[in-house]
Chain A
């Protein structure tokens, strides 16, 4: 894109380019198509939820975007730069951070060390500077520690700094994983079922945390979530996945009113919001039908 717009074009017309722009994403595992024709546009500074029944391909889409798996087809742009096809650590260095459905911390490191590792790409001191304890190394190290403590406090677990990750309660492990993701200074944070296993009070605290991530840190948030209360409270836009493709996209109000969503995802129209996490249908069955 040119730096300066041609003077004869009205400035108001071009809509702001999305921060994350996914087009035609497809992932096949052998002959089994997990997702196809997935288009996602995540606006900068927004909170965007992805919902859908189990096996709909939500996590597969996350895995493709973070290069955890390589997509079969499609393009992924982050802030105008193409990131599909890059190795996972390079994608992370472009500013994509994520958490996992089943928490993946470094279990035998303390909370503080987990967050320190999250800053890996910020450290520049060389081996010899580290061994000799040079000024730059000590300054970087002190900064890294201060930043780590700051983010532990930000997610609400400052008292856990010295605890081994595997000894922490589940809810705190989830918060620690978010702190580890945030400390790298990402542009976009992808949360995979952050509220899984949380009680309503913890869910409310999570909603508040996501709000603060957006407003105080200015980080765009994409989350996969089954807890409708959480989704409706935080998301500005919602994308609904079903059977490996996108069913629809809209504001929380539009999604709640959409008959197809209610049928595909929430079950029969009974007025009650069911917990779809309990849906027993295994992924393979679902995808066999698409293929």
Chain B
């Protein structure tokens, strides 16, 4: 070879890499470079175009955090169940839909009773509680019917069951609740906007973000501090060894599904508050988003689900304005899912363990 070694200790690191790498590595590197270039060009274009003001970007960020925290709530359910059962609960998005409808009916009942206006601040926690109860109950029913029979069986059956349960829930809800868009009755005080540090922010966004933060903090405290949390970690690491130190594995699994379902229920109610309308088919798209967030952060990792949700939400909210706008695309917001799922694909190619995940090379997986 004609290349001259740059130093005695490092004889041509690049030629060495060239010798050891395969064409797959070259293609992957090319993808990396082109993605980075696309993002940089888009960023440069978007920032110089000046379509949006700084205030616009701050409000995009606020919106990204809100939707991101909703994704995070959904992602936690996926990641907790995966951590303990090594299984993707594909019916989880529909559990969220059920929670959302439970909240809808609770809000309707409160409205009919006149409580929504009489006790506006009490009504919201009640609606959230209804969503949690609905989500948790549905999650427990699914666990009992579709997953527990397969607890000691190694097969794809629970996965198929999960997909089946998803359709059962969607079409049962369709039959019972109809296909039209539904909206929560107005919470008087939540109409309108507030001005925050000179920004105009819709109140539901702030409420949803704060509520999500409270629920997430409660969950993390539960997992980090309580004996149940310790038991959940132990079952996730080694189910049989956990049973032999006296942990009731069945009870831990049930608790996991209940908590995951409750959080999906909260997500469903918050989604309805922010986006104003829900349908029986909302579970699929949002479920996939939550799943993507869980993968993005590193499935099985609670902090990862939280981070993945926020990153996905921010990417969706900021990406179109920041990157796509730079290419002069018409209606960049129609393409926000391209950014979200594009990130998912990139993560799966370049960092399959996710942002915070650990490598599963030799573990069961």
Contact (Cβ within 8 A) A89 B247: yes
A180 to B243 CA separation, bound complex (whole angstroms): 13
Contacts of A88 in B (CB 8 A): 240, 243-244, 249
Q: How far is the CA of A271 from the CA of B222 in the complex (A)?
A: 61
A121 CA to B230 CA in the complex, in Å?
12
Give the distance to chain B from A257, nearest Cβ to Cβ, in Å.
Answer: 36
**Residue B172, interface by CB 8 Å:** no
By a CB distance below 8 angstroms, the chain B residues around A107 are: 237-238
9-residue interface stretch from A35-43, A98-106, A238-246: A98-106
B249 touches A89 (CB 8 A): yes
Pick out which of these stretches binds chain B: A7-15, A73-81, A123-131, A277-285. Answer: A123-131
Q: List, in ascending order, chain B residues with CB within 8 A of A113's CB.
A: 230
Give the contacts of A116-149 with B (CB-CB under 8 A). Answer: 116-118, 120-121, 123, 125, 127, 130-131, 133
Contacts of A170 on B, CB cut-off 8 Å?
none
Contact, CB under 8 Å: A117 / B226: no
Interface string of A225-263 (1 = CB under 8 A from B): 000000000000000000000000000000000000000
Q: A127-B226, A131-B221, A131-B226 are in contact. Are A109 and B246 (CB under 8 A)?
A: no
Decide: A92 and B227 in contact? CB cutoff 8 A. Answer: no
Closest CB-CB distance, B164 to chain A, in whole Å? 29
A162 contacts B by Cβ under 8 Å? no
Binary per-residue interface labels of chain B (259-288) against chain A in the complex, 1 for a CB within 8 Å, 0 otherwise: 000000000000000000000000000000
Q: Does chain B have a CB within 8 A of A184?
A: yes
Q: Is the CB of B222 within 8 A of A131?
A: yes
User: Inside 8 A of A197's CB, which chain B residues have their CB?
Assistant: none
* Residues 205 to 250 of chain B near chain A (Cβ within 8 Å): 218, 221-222, 225-228, 230-231, 233-234, 237-238, 240-250
Task: Compute how far the CA of A242 lies from the CA of B218 in the bound complex, rounded to whole angstroms.
Answer: 55
Shortest distance between the CB of A222 and any CB in chain B (Å): 15
A120 pairs with B231, CB closer than 8 A: yes
Q: Is the CB of A68 within 8 A of B244?
A: yes
Contact B218 A104 (CB under 8 A): no
* Among A89, A118, A133, residue most surrounded by chain B Cβ atoms (within 10 Å): A89
What's the least CB distance linking A104 to chain B, in Å? 4
CB of A127 within 8 A of CB of B228, answer: yes
Query: Given A107-B237, A117-B231, are A92 and B226 also a contact pair (CB < 8 Å)?
Result: no
Question: Is A215 among interface residues, defined by CB-CB distance under 8 A?
Answer: no
A125 pairs with B241, CB closer than 8 A:
no
What is the minimal beta-carbon distance from B41 to any residue of chain A, in angstroms? 41
Q: Does A150 contact B (CB under 8 A)?
A: no
Within 8 A of B (CB), among A144-193: 180-181, 184
Q: Known interface pairs A106-B234, A109-B233, A113-B230. Does A120 touch B246 (Cβ–Cβ under 8 Å)?
A: yes
Contact status B243-A87, CB under 8 Å: yes
The reply to whether A106 and B246 contact each other, CB–CB distance below 8 Å, is: no
Partner of B241, one of A104, A123, A184: A104
B residues in contact with A72, CB < 8 Å = none
Given the interface pairs A68-B244, A87-B243, the reply to whether A117 lies near B234 with Cβ below 8 Å is yes
| Residues of the A chain whose Cβ atoms lie less than 8 Å from the Cβ of B245 | 92, 97, 117-118, 120, 180-181, 184
A120 CA to B245 CA in the complex, in Å? 7
- Contact assessment for A92 and B234 in the assembled complex, using a CB-CB cutoff below 8 Å: no
Give every chain A residue within 8 A of B222 (Cβ-Cβ): 127, 130-131
B-contact bits for A39-55, CB 8 A (1 contact / 0 none):
00000000000000000
- Cβ of A220 within 8 Å of any chain B Cβ, yes or no, is no
- Residues from chain B with a CB closer than 8 A to the CB of A180 are 245
- What are the residues of chain A within 8 A of B244 when measuring CB–CB? 66, 68, 88-89, 92, 97-98
Complex contacts, A87 vs chain B, CB 8 Å: 243, 248, 250
Interface centre among B225, B234, B241 (most CB of A within 10 A): B241
- Interface hits, B100-145 → A, CB 8 Å: none
Inter-chain contacts of A100 with B (CB < 8 A): 241
Question: Known interface pairs A88-B244, A89-B248. Does A109 touch B237 (Cβ–Cβ under 8 Å)?
Answer: yes
Which residues of the partner chain A approach B248 to less than 8 Å between Cβ atoms? 87, 89
Check if A89 sits within 8 Å of B230, measured CB to CB: no
Min CB distance A12 to B, Å, is 38
Question: Does A82 reach chain B (CB closer than 8 Å)?
Answer: no
A131-B225 CB under 8 A given contacts A87-B243, A89-B243, A121-B246: yes
Q: Are A117 and B228 touching (Cβ within 8 A)? A: no
Contact of B237 with A106 in the complex, beta carbons under 8 Å: yes
Q: How far is the CA of A105 from the CA of B242 in the complex (A)?
A: 9
B224, closest chain A residue (CB)? A130
Contacts of A121 in B (CB 8 A): 246
Return the contact of B243 from the options A92, A123, A133, A184 (Cβ within 8 A): A92
Contact surface of A with B, Cβ cutoff 8 Å? 66, 68, 87-89, 92-93, 97-98, 100, 104-109, 113, 116-118, 120-121, 123, 125, 127, 130-131, 133, 180-181, 184
Provide a sorted-by-A list of 16 A–B residue pairs whose CB atoms are within 8 angstroms. A68-B243, A87-B250, A88-B244, A89-B249, A92-B246, A105-B238, A105-B241, A108-B237, A109-B237, A116-B230, A118-B245, A123-B227, A125-B226, A127-B222, A130-B222, A131-B218
The 4 residue pairs across chains A and B that have the minimum distance between CB atoms: A130-B226, A88-B243, A92-B246, A106-B237
